[in-house]
Amino acid sequence: MKDIIPQETIEQRIFIIRTQKVMIDRDLAELYGVETKHLNRQVKRNIQRFPEEFMFQLTIGERNQLVTICHRFKTMKHSSSLPYAFTEHGVAMLASVLKSDRAVKISINIIKAFVKLREMISTHKELAHKLTQLERKIEKHDDEIRLIFDAIRQLMAPPEPKKRKIGF
């Protein structure tokens, strides 16, 4: 189906807010092909399906920060309503609330993007751990190499000439 959104486009719309990976209601509405107010209306009609760990409303400060870092949100700057952020589970729940074939297909792609992001983060954690171990080894070797160079310098230094005593 030509309507399916490329994975990279979805990945660019995932933000980390309050230490959670989330997508903003405007981006989701655009991906699902509905208006943001329609998406939010469906969520409010089914609010029992969206506990706080699935969806939360941004604060004014979070919204302003989002507007600052992302040009496509500039129209939110003067909006009186605060956007909603949906976690991976909230996105999965949206497919059941919106009840369209497109919503189901897009939700599957979004979930795949979240999973890929999680895998990348875990890979980076492993890499960071290995890098830390390597740094420790290098620091230990640095001290040993420094001692070797000091010993070589002492060997290279010309010996001090023996002073002959004057007299008997």
pLDDT (tens digit, 9 = 90+) per residue, 51-77?
Answer: 999 999 999 999 999 898 888 888 888
Q: Give the count of beta carbons closer than 10 Å to the beta carbon of residue 49.
A: 15
pTM beyond 0.75, yes or no: no
Total H helices, total E strands in the chain: 6, 4
Higher-pLDDT residue of 131 and 33 is 33
Let me know how long the chain is.
Answer: 168
Residue 154 CB-density burial (10 A; 0-12 exposed, 13-18 middle, 19+ buried):
exposed
pLDDT digits (tens, 9 = 90+) for 3-35: 567 777 888 888 989 988 899 999 999 888 889
pLDDT digits (tens, 9 = 90+) for 95-104: 788 877 777 7
